[in-house]
Amino acid sequence: MTDLTAHPPRGRRYAEITGEITRVPLDFPQRRNWWILFSFSLLLLLVFIVSAGVLFTFGVGVWGNNIPVNWGIAISNYVFFLGIGHAGTLISAMLLVLNENWRNSLNRFAEAMTLVAVTCAGLYPILHLGRPWLFYWMALYPNTMTIQPQFRSPLTWDFFAVLTYLTVSLLFWYIGILPDLAASRDRARKRRWQVFYGLISLGWRGSAFHWARWRTCYAITAVIAVPLVVSVHSEISLLFAAGPIPGWTSTVFPPYFVLGAAFSGFAVVSMIAVVLRHAFGLYAFVTDRHLDLLAKMLLTTGLMTAYGYCIEVFDALYSGEKQDIATMFDRLTGGVAWSYWSAVICNFVPLQLLWLARVRRNPWLLFLISLSATIGMWFERYMLLVSSLYRDYLVSSWDSYFPSFWEWSLFAGMLGVFLTPFLLFVRFLPMMSAFEIKEAVFEQEQEGEEPRHA
């Protein structure tokens, strides 16, 4: 690892940054570990295919749903995965717009994480359909039936939101990675790598003209992507909040969900950052300061999510609605109270350690706290969904829900869908934005500071 705090000549320093990053895919140093992980993710992917196959062959009945709990972990996972993805956009797009340079070493893999998370999330609404082969009827397209989707439905908004979000994220990520792909092409020694990177870098020459156009595209896409974070996850929350069901009809849901998404997303980004940094020795790029900042974001969004919990309780009591109060108490003490308290404990208890700077800069503690937060957020999504459905208005409708084997296996398989493309990304593509790191270094030098870069 090069000590970039020393002062070699400027040009060579910049070159080393690019070199360090592009070397990873070209001379991949962690082959064995990667293959182990990749085989595991392929196995999970196989589980996914089998589970989805059983689902399509026999019907949604292979899951544990019933009336009233007709949505289960498929939908809570949908929200969970989509939420995770939002942090990537927040880091790459929002922090770009706010001109926070420290995001420059995190944004590439964060955005890649967004892409795979949104893909995973986007598969769930198709999988959970009773007639999944007709999922495209939620789209607005000219058809011989002359029927449009029903626009008042949150699911129609879902369709547009997730599609838009996926498209914009993909564009944003691709635009962002272009210059580095070109750099990889230029540094590749083997012919096949040159051809590969050459094709996907679309003929980038790094000319001023290219950069000018590029900067416009990048900025515009970022500006489009930022409000999407708020709108997409607010819309997801309306999937629940638009209906009259007690425990769901809470106006705090849109911000509550967005903040919860940011929280879970930052947790996952932190985990990935720690792992990649450790695996590929990227300590120079993802410094302690980055971990510190990520931890602060985690703490902030975590506290905001905690606010959501408190407001929910307040809302129910303040409303005086008998059913809402009953649902609220049931969440705390009823049949799925285990999910509520698991969420509260996993989300907020280890989180408090992040008040200490020592803890924030410790990568492994940060990893564990993030893992706890991720699991806690999973419990929260489960709790929100099941606790409102299994006991709602009429006492006669009350029933219980137990996810079946096929739901769990689909979840496990979905982790394979998450990991496989991400591992491929780590293997074959420059996982950090070299040119943006260089940009940050340049700006610091301009300001006369020691290059701490990023």
Nearest to 299 by CA among 251, 239, 348, 232: 348
Q: Which stretch binds other proteins (CB under 8 A): 152-160, 197-205, 260-268, 329-337?
A: 152-160
288 binds other proteins (CB under 8 A): no
Nearer to other proteins, 360 or 391 (CB): 391
Nearer to other proteins, 140 or 199 (CB): 140
Nearest to 268 by CA among 90, 446, 58, 412: 90
Give the nearest distance from C-beta 402 to other proteins in angstroms: 9
Residues 331, 337, 343, 349, CA torsion sign: positive
Q: Which stretch binds other proteins (CB under 8 A): 3-11, 143-151, 357-365, 411-419?
A: 143-151
Nearer to other proteins, 149 or 421 (CB): 149
60 binds other proteins (CB under 8 A): yes
53 binds other proteins (CB under 8 A): no
Nearest to 267 by CA among 304, 235, 301: 301
Q: Which stretch binds other proteins (CB under 8 A): 5-13, 25-33, 236-244, 253-261?
A: 236-244
144 binds other proteins (CB under 8 A): no
Helix (H, G, I), strand (E, B) or coil at 33: helix
| Spatial separation of the C-alpha atoms in residues 382 and 357, rounded to whole Å | 32
Helix (H, G, I), strand (E, B) or coil at 37: helix
Q: How many residues bind other proteins (CB under 8 A)?
A: 51
245-274 footprint of other proteins as x/- string (CB under 8 A): x-----------------------------
Nearer to other proteins, 132 or 206 (CB): 132
Instruction: Tell which one of 20, 235, 380, 392 touches other proteins (CB under 8 A).
Output: 392
59 binds other proteins (CB under 8 A): yes
Instruction: Tell which one of 7, 12, 39, 135 touches other proteins (CB under 8 A).
Output: 135
Instruction: Tell which one of 80, 102, 124, 159 touches other proteins (CB under 8 A).
Output: 159
134 binds other proteins (CB under 8 A): yes
**What are the CA-CA distances from residue 363 to residues 24, 189, 191, 270, 447 (Å)?**
21, 34, 38, 9, 30
Longest dimension (CA), the chain: 77
335 binds other proteins (CB under 8 A): no
226 binds other proteins (CB under 8 A): no
DSSP labels, 353-377 = GGGSHHHHT-HHHHHHHHHHHHHHH
Q: Which stretch binds other proteins (CB under 8 A): 8-16, 58-66, 216-224, 441-449?
A: 58-66
312-331 footprint of other proteins as x/- string (CB under 8 A): ---------xxx--------
150 binds other proteins (CB under 8 A): yes
| Spatial separation of the C-alpha atoms in residues 433 and 112, rounded to whole Å | 12
Residue type at 122 in one-letter notation:
G
Instruction: Tell which one of 26, 54, 154, 348 touches other proteins (CB under 8 A).
Output: 154
E-strand spans in 69-142? none
380 binds other proteins (CB under 8 A): no
231 binds other proteins (CB under 8 A): no
Nearer to other proteins, 248 or 367 (CB): 248
Instruction: Kindly state the tokens that stand for 305.
Output: 């999510």
Query: For residues 70-89, which are near other proteins according to CB under 8 A?
Result: 70-71
Q: In 188-252, which ranges are continuous DSSP H helix?
A: 191-200, 208-241
176 binds other proteins (CB under 8 A): no
141 binds other proteins (CB under 8 A): no
Helix (H, G, I), strand (E, B) or coil at 268: helix
DSSP labels, 127-152 = HT-SSGGGGGGGS----TT-----TT
Q: Which stretch binds other proteins (CB under 8 A): 131-139, 255-263, 430-438, 446-454?
A: 131-139
Q: Which stretch binds other proteins (CB under 8 A): 101-109, 128-136, 352-360, 415-423?
A: 128-136
291: left (phi over 0), alpha (psi -120 to 50) or beta: alpha
Nearer to other proteins, 56 or 193 (CB): 56
Helix (H, G, I), strand (E, B) or coil at 429: coil
C-beta separation of 427 from 28 below 8 A = yes
Give the nearest distance from C-beta 118 to other proteins in angstroms: 19
Instruction: Kindly state the tokens that stand for 349.
Output: 């208890």
| Spatial separation of the C-alpha atoms in residues 91 and 442, rounded to whole Å | 20
Q: In 242-287, which ranges are continuous DSSP H helix?
A: 253-280
Binding residues vs other proteins (CB under 8 A)? 58-61, 64-71, 125, 128-132, 134-135, 137-138, 147-150, 152-156, 158-159, 239, 242-245, 321-323, 389, 392-400
